[in-house]
Structure 1
Amino acid sequence: MSTHLESAWYRGAPWLWLLRPLEALFRAVSACRRYCYSKGWLQSYRAARPVIVVGNITVGGTGKTPVVIALVEALAERGIRCGVVSRGYGGKATEYPLRLDDTVDPAECGDEPLLIHRRTGAPCVVDPDRPRAVDMLLQDTSVQLVISDDGLQHYALNRDMEIVLLDQQRRLGNGFCLPAGPLREPPSRLQDVDFVLYRGSADAIEGVPYRADVWVNLVTGERRQLHAFRQQDGLQALAGIGQPDQFFATLDALGLHYQRHVFADHHAYTAQDLAALAGDTVLMTEKDAVKCRAFAGENAWYLRIDACLPEAVIEAAAGLVLSSTPEREIQCLSQ
């Protein structure tokens, strides 16, 4: 995505009106496609277990992965075993579906699903064809609930609950769909989802605040308190995420003095990226750490972040499992 175009979307540049004819076409195609699925003219796969989609209607990162992690962990505390499916953006596996384990390279599966799997231990399958991913996932009969990381517009997968993430500051940008704005679907789509949550908001009902937890060493696994590097010089902070300024803002709030290094979202890190920083303490996001672990030195640390979900979301998700019936599984298996 062009940084210039993205900036124009969120500052409301007047010239974007020139793209409105293309936006109208995009809206029409999107609405037609969704209508065909709703009428059953295009087939939608219904899984034998309840499915929750955690997605967005805007282009770019809105913090879906931390929410998926938080949901998996919260449901595990209630004795509910979740499995996760993902498109695996940025990954280039030679064969799909790809079930994740400790040997999978992030270059194959993408950074976000591997982060979810390593953080939660939940079974995770990557495949651009999400119904096929769910099929493989449900071969693990202990999975009681399927969570799709992204995929709100992937209507080939039927879902029981939709959770949409928006950035508290950016919200819907200029309110236009692509290419005149950042929206994948019109704002009216939000009326049909179960929950709209705002990243960075402290609102008890719709907010998802993020809490910095601890620094973790990429090599040794050692943990340090958040202020461990406050008095240290020679700090190098790198971020290859959708909105890197949010990571740097956290470092500022911790009182750290550092030099920033910004990479593109989903950047495929190499040893050379870190070689120039040898000798200094390197700070990064947990998402970046997934891709740097294999060649990082003992001077590299990532910041573990926890998302705090509204209790209503957790209860509603748990309720899907409690209300799921054996008849559903029989019907789905007989399809």
Structure 2
Amino acid sequence: MRLDPTSIWYSRSRRHPLTRLLLPLSWLYGAIVRVRRRAYQKGWLASERLPVPVVLVGNLTVGGTGKTPLVLRLVELLRAQGWTPAIITRGYGGRAEHWPQRVTPESDPDRVGDEPVLLARRSGCVVVAGPDRVAAGRLAIALSGCGILISDDGLQHYRLARDLEIVLIDGTRGFGNGHCLPAGPLREPPARLNNVDLVLHKGGAGPGHRMQLHPGELVNLRDPTQRRPLSDLSGQRVRAVAGIGHPEPFFRQLEAAGLVVERWPYPDHHRYRPEDGDRWRGLPVVMTEKDAVKCATFAASDHWMLPVTAILDPDFASHLLRKTDQLRANR
């Protein structure tokens, strides 16, 4: 039986019996994180600065917070401001033997990862994946001649010097029990927010800048030219497939649109196979865009994906563009 750590990290009581057992490891992890960051700040470990500005989009917690839609929206905003952006990303789950790799809309997600392929399809940018963000950035600059780099994740990859840090927080779940790994979901202590440039909350309510994910039209996996409003499936039973870090908002979004949802959650970055598609037969299937990247080759005619677009509050967009204007002036 596989234990889902989120049941510990986001327990409502925050007193899960395993939490106390794991706390000493969390304290050790947090101490190592602080020492490592201090080493980069003092120059004991070297960061490398690339010849173009780097805008980094990251989070403090493990799991999905909506960074990919945010990166896509940043590409649009920066283009409108006159920048030529490129994107670098880790390529999590990719099995390529050599990194970094240029990612195209036709790339195999099994080799380079699902999120990089999605970014390449949606952004129209040069996208480069690789665990070494510095090497990925150099290749992206060489391939694109870009004027600015957007790093999808990598907040803790301090070897890559960055000019602007944006941290995205799940506005509903927050930081869970507030502990670092493994007792909690935090990659770094919350105090790290004191040193970032911009903080954005996905959903939820309260003070601070907000981002909402707005659903678009359903797109057919077998024939992407076929599109239909999500409301077409209102009142119908569907199989909702989601192999993402936090699938609950996706399921709730479908239910809010009136669909009768049969939930099929999978682990984040799940490697789908045709046998999975066989299990979904009998009902229309609606999945996230990230999942669709890996399912198109065996999709049936009633398999649909739901793209989402990041909607940013105007104040956040204004703050961002002022800061990128400063980056241009300082170069």
Hey, what does 1:255 align to over in structure 2?
Answer: 258
CA RMSD of aligned residues (A): 2.0
SS in 1 for 2:200: strand
- Change in Cα spacing, 1:277 to 1:4, as seen in structure 2 (3 Å) is closer
Say which of 178, 181, 184 aligns to 1:181: 184
Is it true that 1:96 corresponds to 2:82 in the alignment?
no
Runs of 4+ in 1 over 6 A off after TM superposition: none
TM-score using structure 1 length: 0.91
Q: Retained in 2: the 8 A contact 1:84–1:122? A: yes
**Paired residue secondary structure (2:263):** strand
Amino acid corresponding to residue 266 of structure 2 in structure 1: F
10-19 vs 300-309, which deviates more?
A: 10-19
Matched, 1:13 2:5: no
Within a 5 Å distance, the mapping from 1:191-202 to structure 2 comes to 191-201=194-204
Residue 218 (structure 1) aligns with? 221
| 1:312 Cα offset (Å) | 4.1
Structure 2 CA distance for partners of 1:79 and 1:224, relative to 1, 3 Å: farther
Q: 1:121 aligns with which of 120, 124, 142?
A: 124
Is 1:42 equivalent to 2:45 in the alignment?
yes
Q: Is the 8 A contact 2:209 2:316 kept in 1?
A: no
- C-alpha distance 280-53 of structure 1, shift in aligned 2 (>3 A): same
Partner of 1:107: 110
Following superposition of structure 1 onto structure 2, how do residues 1-335 of structure 1 map, counting pairs within 5 Å?
3-11=3-11, 12-15=14-17, 16-201=19-204, 205-221=208-224, 222-233=226-237, 235-319=238-322, 321-324=324-327, 328=331
Aligned-partner Cα distance in 2 for 1:192–1:129: 23
SS in 2 for 1:308: strand
Aligned AA (1:270)? R
TM-fit CA distance, 1:306: 0.9
- Asked if 1 retains the 8 angstrom alpha-carbon contact of 2:171 and 2:205, the reply is no
Taking a change above 3 Å as real, the CA distance of residues 243 and 325 of structure 1, as seen in their structure-2 partners, is closer
Q: Secondary structure at the match of 1:261?
A: strand
Task: Go from structure 1 to structure 2 and tell me whether the alpha carbon gap of 1:204 and 1:78 turns closer, same or farther (over 3 Å shift).
Answer: farther
Structure 2 residue runs of 5 or longer lacking an equivalent are none
Task: Tell me if structure 2 keeps the 8 A contact 1:279–1:299.
Answer: no
- Unaligned runs of 5+ residues in structure 1 are 329-335
The question of whether the paired residues in 2 share the 8 Å contact of 1:106 and 1:291 is answered with: yes
Deviation (angstroms), 1:61 = 1.2
Paired letter, 1:8: I
Secondary structure, in 3 states, of the residue corresponding to 1:227?
helix
Post-superposition shift, 1:276? 2.5
- 1:268 is paired with a residue whose SS is coil
CA 1:55–1:137: 2 relative to 1, 3 Å: same
Conserved in 1, the CA contact under 8 Å of 2:87 and 2:127?
Answer: yes
Partners of 2:9 and 2:162 lie apart in 1 by 30
Q: 1:317 to 1:51 in 2, by over 3 A?
A: farther
Query: How far is the alpha carbon of 1:317 from its aligned partner?
Result: 4.1
* Counterpart contact for 2:199–2:208, Cα < 8 Å: no
Q: 1:266 Cα shift?
A: 0.6
The match for 1:333 is none
Return the offset for 1:278.
3.3
1:201-231 superposed Cα distances (whole Å, 9 cap, x missing partner) = 3668511111112111112111111201114
- Please, what TM-score do these two structures have when normalized by structure 2? 0.92
Give the secondary-structure state (helix, strand or coil) at the position aligned to 2:151. strand
Give, as a single letter, the amino acid of the residue that structure 2 aligns with 1:257: V
Farther off after superposition, 6-15 or 185-194: 6-15
Q: Is the 8 A contact 2:105 2:118 kept in 1?
A: no
Secondary structure at the counterpart of residue 57 of structure 1: coil
**Which residue identity does 2:220 align to in structure 1?**
N
CA contact (8 A) 2:201 2:211 kept: yes
Indicate conservation of the 8 Å contact 1:201/1:208, yes or no: no
1:76 deviates by 2.2
% of aligned pairs identical? 44
Indicate the SS of the match to 1:132: helix
